[in-house]
């Protein structure tokens, strides 16, 4: 045992006791005291590090729990009840997959390697959400038209375009240019601006060989052919349906244009059930197009699907989501038809003129 006097890191005299052997090569000295200033790491920094890691891990665990609960919600009960509709509409499979990707990366960080269960749960959610996203939002098909259903030479398919134009936020000239690019026979527009003679003249100038019908509720139908008298139906105070007879190249059918309310706080059961009931009163071939503001996996499409078929489910190819551009996650814009119509093709466009993608289908009247 002995005392040693030496100068500390700040120049102050320091006395240190130590115990050791007379031969320093036999064993290192055991220090019984050391100035705090001589520590290589600040003690508060050591105390803070575990707390920060724990906070990060808690955030990741909550994200993972939210992702799993959202996935379970998509199997049952979906959007049956008002309290869950906001959650259901706000977490499509694509969004759940993004949550899973984030939790997997977080679990793979060096700070998270101590929790293999967190990594396993994240990987399981990643696989489940990725598989469901591919199964529900993507289709890969060849030519879906069979030889038996092929149209006659005089029944060339009718091309219909339906688009939520977002009140022309990208400029009406750009909207018209995108529409002309697809050369449709029937143009169904929602959120196409309030009715005015100026708007009618604008559409007539853009499409001089079409019949323009301003249907109210910011809905416009433009036909390369003839359109009859419109039957307006208010599904709810904020949901509109317009039904009008149309004839294109000798093929007659009813075109029903839909614009369902966009509030995510309201359950879609009432407008969609009223839509199905209203369409049951229409005789003959019917094609339904518009912004449903409801993903197709909603339980409230059950009534409509009894007599109508989704064109995307029948013949769609690629990615079905239409909103919001430029990163669409939900298939809000849809086309349905009854047994009097046979759909030949289903395609989606891309345009910065709106926050929705245009939907283009080709069909024939049976």
Closest to 241 measured CA to CA, from 216, 221, 222, 258: 258
How far is residue 170 from each of residues 121, 165, 175, 178, 351, measured CA to CA in Å?
A: 43, 8, 7, 11, 9
Asked if 176 contacts 191 with a C-beta cutoff of 8 angstroms, the reply is: no
Distance CA 140, CA 77 (A): 28
Give the pLDDT score at 11. Answer: 56
Closest to 295 measured CA to CA, from 88, 76, 141: 88
Which DSSP string do the residues of 134-159 spell out, in sequence order?
Answer: HHHHEE-------TTTPPPTT-PPEE
Give the pLDDT score at 291. Answer: 98
Distance CA 193, CA 168 (A): 7
Whole-model pTM over 0.95: no
Q: Which stretches of the chain drop beneath a pLDDT of 50?
A: 6, 18-22, 24, 27, 29-33, 39, 45-51, 112, 144, 146-148, 150, 153
Which DSSP string do the residues of 76-120 spell out, in sequence order?
Answer: TTTTSSHHHHHHHHH--HHHHHHHHHHHHHHHHSGGGTT-HHHHH
- Give backbone dihedrals phi and psi of 139, rounded to 5 degrees, phi first: -140, 140
Dihedral angle over CA of 241, 243, 248, 252, nearest 10: 140
Asked if 264 contacts 89 with a C-beta cutoff of 8 angstroms, the reply is: yes
What letter would DSSP give residue 36?
A: G
Give the pLDDT score at 22. Answer: 46
Express each pLDDT in 265-301 by its tens digit: 888 999 999 999 999 999 999 999 999 999 999 999 9
Give the pLDDT score at 181. Answer: 97
Q: Which residues contact 222 (CB under 8 A, 6 or more apart)?
A: 186, 187, 189, 203, 207, 210, 211, 212, 213
CB atoms within 10 A of CB 10: 9
Distance CA 125, CA 120 (A): 9
Distance CA 148, CA 359 (A): 26
């Amino acid at each position: 045992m002995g005392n040693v006097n030496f100068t500390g890191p700040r120049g102050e005299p320091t006395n240190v006791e130590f115990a050791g052997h007379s031969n320093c090569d036999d064993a290192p000295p055991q220090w019984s005291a050391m100035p705090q200033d001589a520590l290589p790491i600040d003690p508060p920094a050591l105390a803070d590090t575990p707390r920060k890691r724990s906070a990060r891990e808690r955030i990741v665990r909550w994200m993972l729990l939210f992702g799993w609960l959202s996935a379970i919600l998509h199997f049952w009960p979906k959007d049956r009840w008002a309290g869950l509709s906001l959650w259901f509409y706000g977490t499509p499979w694509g969004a759940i997959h993004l949550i899973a990707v984030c939790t997997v990366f977080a679990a793979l960080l060096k700070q998270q390697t101590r929790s293999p269960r967190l990594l396993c749960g994240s990987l399981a959610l990643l696989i489940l959400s990725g598989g469901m996203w591919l199964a529900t939002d993507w289709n890969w098909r060849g030519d879906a038209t069979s030889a038996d259903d092929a149209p006659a030479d005089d029944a060339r398919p009718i091309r219909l375009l339906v688009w939520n134009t977002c009140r022309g936020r990208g400029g009406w000239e750009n909207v018209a240019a995108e529409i002309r690019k697809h050369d449709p026979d029937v143009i169904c527009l929602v959120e196409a601006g309030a009715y005015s003679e100026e708007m009618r003249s604008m559409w007539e100038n853009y499409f001089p060989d079409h019949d323009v019908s301003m249907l109210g509720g910011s809905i416009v139908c433009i036909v390369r052919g003839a359109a009859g008298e419109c039957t307006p139906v208010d599904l709810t105070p904020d949901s509109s349906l317009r039904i009008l007879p149309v004839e294109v190249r000798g093929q007659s059918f009813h075109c029903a244009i839909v614009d369902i309310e966009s509030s995510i706080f309201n359950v879609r059961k009432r407008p969609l059930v009223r839509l199905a009931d209203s369409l049951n009163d229409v005789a003959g071939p019917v094609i339904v197009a518009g912004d449903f503001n409801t993903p197709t996996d909603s339980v409230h499409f059950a009534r409509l699907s009894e007599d109508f078929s989704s064109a995307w489910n029948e013949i769609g190819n690629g990615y079905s989501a239409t909103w919001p551009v430029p990163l669409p996650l939900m298939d809000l814009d849809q086309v349905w038809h009854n047994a009097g119509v046979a759909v030949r093709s289903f395609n989606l466009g891309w345009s910065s003129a709106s926050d929705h993608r245009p939907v283009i289908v080709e069909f024939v009247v049976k």
